[in-house]
Amino acid sequence: MSNAILVVGGGFAGLTAAIEAAELGRDVYIVEKTPWLGGRVAQLNKYFPKLCPPSCGLEIQFQRIRKNPRIKFFTQAELIGLVGSKGDYTAKIRLTPRRTAPHNVDFSLLASALTGEADNEFDFGLSKRKALYKAMPFAFPGRYVLDAKTLSKSDMARVAGAKFIDPTQESRDIDLNVGALVVATGWRPYDMTRLTNLGAGRVRNCISNMQLERLASPFGPTGGKIVRPSDNCPPMNVAFVQCAGSRDQNHLNYCSYICCMATFKQCLYLLEQNPNVRITIYYIDLRAPGRYVNVLEKVKAQPNVSFVKGKAAEVAQAEDDRVWLTAEDAVRGEKLKLVYDLVVLATGMQPSLAGVKDFLPLPLDEDGFIAGGEEAGIYAAGCARMPLDVTRAARSGTAAALKAVQTVEGR
Amino acid sequence: MAQYTLQPDINFVRELQDAGGDNLKRCYQCATCAVACPLSPANAPYPRKEMVWASWGLKDKLMKDVDIWLCHNCGNCSDLCPRGARPADAMAAARNMVYKDLTEPSIIGKWMSGIAGLPYLFLIPAALWLVVWSLRAAAKGSYFPRAADGRIVFGEIFYGDYTIDPIFIITFFGACFILYRGVRKLWEMFKPEGNMLVIGQKKSWIRHLAGVLMDEIVTHRKFDDCEDGPTTGKAAGSRKLGHMLLVYSFVILAFVTAVVALGHWGGKIVPAIEVHTPMSLTFPVKILANIGALLMLCGLAALTARRLTQDRLNHVSNFQDWYLLGIIWLVACTGILSQCFRLADALKPAFVAYYFHLVFVWMLFAYLPWSKLGHFVYRTAALVYVRMYGRS
């Protein structure tokens, strides 16, 4: 028997659930697959409702974790087995070695001297990273990671002599005894390469909305300047393709709830950087839930933003690394084939558990969202359950925490 | 703001759904289909507008729409449709509705629109040719007579001069007349409201028809253009080869029939060009006929295989599709069997096979204006029309 709670996933929903449960006096473990907490929010430039930078909200969460001895978290950790029943689970966790010392050593000088490079997954391939890296300045834990696979020959020699680095660290498994679980495994952006008619990710200067977030982020590949990846020039003519792979039975058969708002937000980024930029939004229907309608009104009032009702259904490479986009303006009944400097595909959220072999005894719906499991003392939170914005993901984290607390309470 | 009150025809929507457009109500007007279609023009592209007309039951608009004939049914739109509304099948269903309602007598259109009518369609020629058979049998004294020299000659029963030829001549010219009326009606329906101003010299419809034949039908160019759509990421069997083989086999067999008819009737006046049936296997016209039959089988096999292996989620073949493929299969198989039995000297099977061959050939041609085969006239007419009116 255990009164502890295991939170799977250290994104906004998972952090909220963990903190709320810990602040109610429960012992909490967080298991996070990536090297840092913060999840998808950390990758954004700004987030709703107040369009704050992610460091703003996350910093508060990190402080609450730092100050609360009841919370223990494991990064680069994955749940690889779960046995037992409600109230008494044994979770097997695999810890991938970080290969750096447990305190926050500043490796920036050493990292910049390394030569081996790999695609930076945190920037969705828009930049390269070294073998020794930290994705963002406000990363928590503030520790670097050594990715031994990316080390070049000369890097190995450099690293071998370095203090506070242990390239030989091996992965290890630990068992955690917990009474309840909160599953907040979150989402991944829908894979652009599957959108064959929209260029399958092979058209230069046709990027995803999450890639645009990285371009706009001050800690991103361009230091916050929104430019075309091919030539680093600011785009003058930008198109947004809504429902790129969403509400589509061939891809994601549901509405991801946030992509319209993400586009409006990104229109504001673009206009802030260049008031003369011309933006066209191709849409089927626009979704601005609740008070967010004010943002829609604000964007609509911009003279340089136009809306075309009609899904962009073909994207192809044009000359000078520009992008052809074809859509039917369904209101006027005209097929448009226009060229843009930059095309942004507003791809949707796919639950991280979709199509992935995992060890949770949870029923998933046909799209991969968690649809049940509460009778087993396992509670879903955040986008693992349904597409949500950050506010609602946090709320669902609190709700899951309360249910988990009640499961282990009073025994 | 101008107000427009829709007059939806609910029954028409149901009929369309029965005719193959069963998923059309799933459409949410995203307009992917209009982009997916490489043939669809920039101005008022199809099939999105047809999908909304179909959904709303705007029978008038849909039946008068020339665009349903410009569609060559490659299925790109259905492959990319996010809702599985199958616009390609909805367009085919709209064409099926035209086959059904365009020409009189409309009862044949009704029979032709579902499997329930099939027995009637079959029984008419079956009875007709049985009567011919009985009458001739009474005259000859046997249902399975041999010719004087002991050969099997189908003409002994199904005598050309006053059984087969008159019946088929009446059938052929009757179908032509009905098709002619159908085309006149279609062109009348296609005509936009108001006047049309043509700048420059107006070409006559015959020259446009020649253009369509040479530029599109002989080359099957549109089938290639169909492949130029956005990448769907889905496997699509090409229809060009199968369709082309079938079209050319029809042309060859039509030519053979014309030569034989000319040889037979013309031979009565100019004995030098007389052709006697059955022709010897080495006679050039016979060789050509057998080449035609083989091409027909190849084309049929390719087209049938394509339909059978299609992705069932996005492409469904309707009754008219299977009727047409089925009837051509039956015509080809009974024709080839008749020849084989005749050459193998199997008397009874030969006559039975030939009887069925006549039944199916008659079905193919007599019901042409109401069947999917009518597309070769109606689509050609529509393609000529759009050339005259400058939409392509």
- pLDDT, tens digit, 9 for 90 and up, residues A344-355: 999 999 999 998
Q: Which residues 224-253 of chain B have a CB within 8 Å of chain A?
A: 229-233
* Closest chain A residue by Cα to residue B80: A250
Segment A359-374 mean pLDDT: 90
Pairwise CB contact (< 8 Å): B48 & A328: yes
Does residue A101 form part of some domain? Answer: no
Q: How high is the pLDDT of residue A261?
A: 96
Q: Is A348 on the interface with B (CB under 8 A)?
A: no
* A325 Cα to chain B: minimum distance (Å): 10
Say if CB A245 and CB A251 are below 8 A apart: yes
The yes-or-no verdict on residue B1 having pLDDT over 70 is no
pLDDT at residue B392 is higher than 70: no
Q: Is residue A223 part of a domain?
A: yes
Do A274 and A244 lie in one domain? The reply is yes
Q: Tell whether A221 and A344 lie within a shared domain.
A: yes
Same domain? For A237 and A178 the reply is: no
Q: Which residues of A fall within a CB distance of 8 Å from B49?
A: 333
Residues A179, A47, single domain; the answer is yes
Residues A80 and A205 occupy one common structural domain: no
3 state DSSP class of A275: coil
User: Does the beta-carbon distance from A248 to B42 stay under 8 Å?
Assistant: no
What share of chain A in percent tops pLDDT 90? Answer: 83
A194: contact with B, CB 8 A cutoff: yes
Quick one: average pLDDT of A8-18?
96
- Kindly state the average pLDDT of the residues A192-217: 94
Q: What is the mean pLDDT of chain A?
A: 93
Q: Nearest chain B Cα to A199, which residue?
A: B231
A19 and A149 share one domain: no
A337 vs B: CB within 8 A: yes
Residue from the list B29, B43, B80 with its beta carbon closest to the beta carbon of A313: B80
**The predicted structure's pLDDT at residue A187:** 96
pLDDT score recorded for residue B314: 86
**Which range is least confidently modeled, A63-72, B75-84, B268-277, B326-335?**
B268-277
Q: For strands A187-189 and A206-208, give the pairing.
A: unpaired
Does residue A356 sit within a domain? yes
Q: β-strand A145-146 against A132-133: which pairing, if any?
A: antiparallel
Residues of A in contact with B33 (CB under 8 A): 313
Say whether residue B49 is in contact with chain A using an 8 A CB cutoff.
Answer: yes
Q: What average pLDDT does this structure show over B220-249?
A: 84
Same domain, A327 and A216: yes
Contact B233 A194 (CB under 8 A): yes
- What single letter denotes the amino acid at residue B256? V
Overall size of chain B counted in residues:
392
Same domain, residue pair A247 and A298: yes
What is the Cα–Cα distance from A247 to A170, expressed in whole angstroms?
A: 43
Three-class DSSP category at A177: strand
Q: What is the CATH number of the domain that holds A68?
A: 3.50.50.60
**d(C-alpha A388, C-alpha A13), whole Å:** 10
Q: What are the chain A neighbours of B27 within 8 Å (beta carbons)?
A: none
Q: Is A411 a residue whose pLDDT tops 60?
A: no
Nearest chain A residue to B39, by CA: A335
Q: Give how far A192 is from chain B: nearest CA, Å.
A: 13
In sequence order, the 6+-apart residues with CB closer than 8 A to the CB of A69 are none
Mean pLDDT of chain B: 89
> In chain B, which residues have their Cβ closer than 8 Å to the Cβ of A323?
none
Domain holding A131, by residue range, is: 108-160
How close is the nearest chain A Cα to the Cα of B326, in Å?
32
Classified as helix, coil or strand, A327 is strand
Secondary structure of residue A92 in the 3-state scheme: strand
- CA separation, residue A170 to residues A131, A173, A201 (Å): 17, 10, 35
Length of chain A: 411
Q: Is A250 on the interface with B (CB under 8 A)?
A: yes
Which of A252, A335, A336, A347 should we substitute to test contact with B (largest number of B Cβ atoms within 10 Å)? Answer: A335
Quick check: B29 contacting A, CB < 8 Å? yes
Sketch out chain B's domains with CATH numbers: 10-102 (1.10.1060.10), 106-388 (no CATH)
Residue A311: inside a domain: yes
Of A200, A309, A314, the CB nearest to B35: A314
A166 occurs within a structural domain: no
Q: Considering the domain boundaries, does residue A103 fall inside one?
A: no
Q: Which residues of B touch A255 (CB under 8 A)?
A: none
Q: Does the beta-carbon distance from B34 to A328 stay under 8 Å?
A: yes
Q: Do A313 and B230 touch (CB under 8 A)?
A: yes
Q: How far is B312 from chain A (nearest CA, A)?
A: 14
Long-range interactions of B324-327: CB distance < 8 A, separation 24+: B324/B371, B324/B372, B324/B373, B325/B300, B327/B360, B327/B363, B327/B364, B327/B371
Query: Residue B105, SS3?
Result: coil
- As a whole number of angstroms, the distance between CA A293 and CA B212 comes to 53
Contacts of A196 in chain B (CB under 8 A): 230-233
Let me know the angle formed at the C-alpha of A184 by A180 and A185, rounded to the nearest 5 degrees. Answer: 120
Query: What distance in Å separates the CA atoms of residue B6 and residue A109, rounded to the nearest whole number?
Result: 72
Q: Residue holding tokens 């016979």?
A: B286
Mutate to test the interface with A, among B26, B35, B37 (most CBs of A within 10 A): B35
Nearest CA in chain A to B49: A333
Query: Within an 8 Å CB–CB cutoff, is residue B35 touching chain A?
Result: yes
- pLDDT of B278 over the 90 cut: no
pLDDT mean over B250-254: 93
Cβ neighbours of B43 in A, within 8 Å: 333-335
ipTM (interface pTM) = 0.86
Nearest neighbour of B28 by CB, restricted to A284, A316, A333: A284
pLDDT tens digits, one per residue of B345-354? 888 999 999 9
A196 touches chain B (CB under 8 A): yes
Do residues A283 and A365 both lie within one domain? no
Chain A CB contacts of B231 below 8 Å:
196-197, 200
Q: Which of B334, B295, B390 is nearest to B43 (CA)?
A: B390
C-beta atoms of B45 and A197 within 8 A:
no
Radius of gyration of chain A (CA): 22
- Both structure tokens of A74: 């494991």
- Assess if residue A102 is contained within a domain: no
The reply to whether A371 and A231 lie within a common domain is no
Question: What is the pLDDT, as a whole number, of residue A300?
Answer: 95
Cα distance between residue B117 and residue B109, in whole Å: 9
Using 50, 70 and 90 to split pLDDT, how confident is the model at A396? very high
**Which residues does chain A have within 8 Å of residue B75's beta carbon, measured at their own beta carbons?**
none
Do the chains contact at A328 and B28, CB–CB below 8 Å?
Answer: no
* A269-273, A310-314, B218-222, B368-372: range with lowest mean pLDDT: B218-222
In tens, the pLDDT along B32-44 reads 999 999 899 998 9
Residues A206 and A301 in one domain: yes
In-domain check, residue A282:
yes
Domain total in chain A:
3
List, edge to edge, every strand of the sheet that includes A278-283. Answer: A206-208, A342-347, A237-244, A278-283, A305-309
- Please determine, for residue B130, whether its predicted confidence score (pLDDT) is greater than 60: yes
The residues, ordered by sequence, that sit 6+ positions from B322 with a Cβ below 8 Å of its Cβ are B307
Q: If you measure CA to CA, which chain B residue comes closest to A246? A: B82
Q: Of A143-157, A381-395, B63-77, where does the model show the most confidence?
A: A381-395
pLDDT 10s digits, A225-266 = 999 999 999 999 999 999 999 999 999 999 999 999 999 999
Residue by residue, what is the 3-state secondary structure of A123-166? Answer: HCCCCEEECEECCCCCCCCCCCEECHHHCCHHHHHHHHCCCCEC
φ/ψ region of A370 (left if φ > 0, alpha if ψ in -120 to 50, else beta) reads beta
Nearest to B15 by CA among B85, B113, B152, B155: B113
State mean pLDDT over A374-382: 93
Q: Which residues in chain B are contacts of A333 at CB distance < 8 A?
A: 43-45, 49
Question: Within this chain, do residues A201 and A255 fall inside the same structural domain, yes or no?
Answer: yes
Residues of A in contact with B84 (CB under 8 A): 249
Section B189-213 average pLDDT:
83
The answer to whether A287 contacts chain B (CB < 8 Å) is no
**Candidate from A13-22, A58-67, B283-292 with smallest mean pLDDT:** B283-292
How many interchain CB pairs under 8 A, A with B? Answer: 87
pLDDT of residue A410: 62
Q: Which of B167, B140, B116 is nearest to B362 (CA)?
A: B167
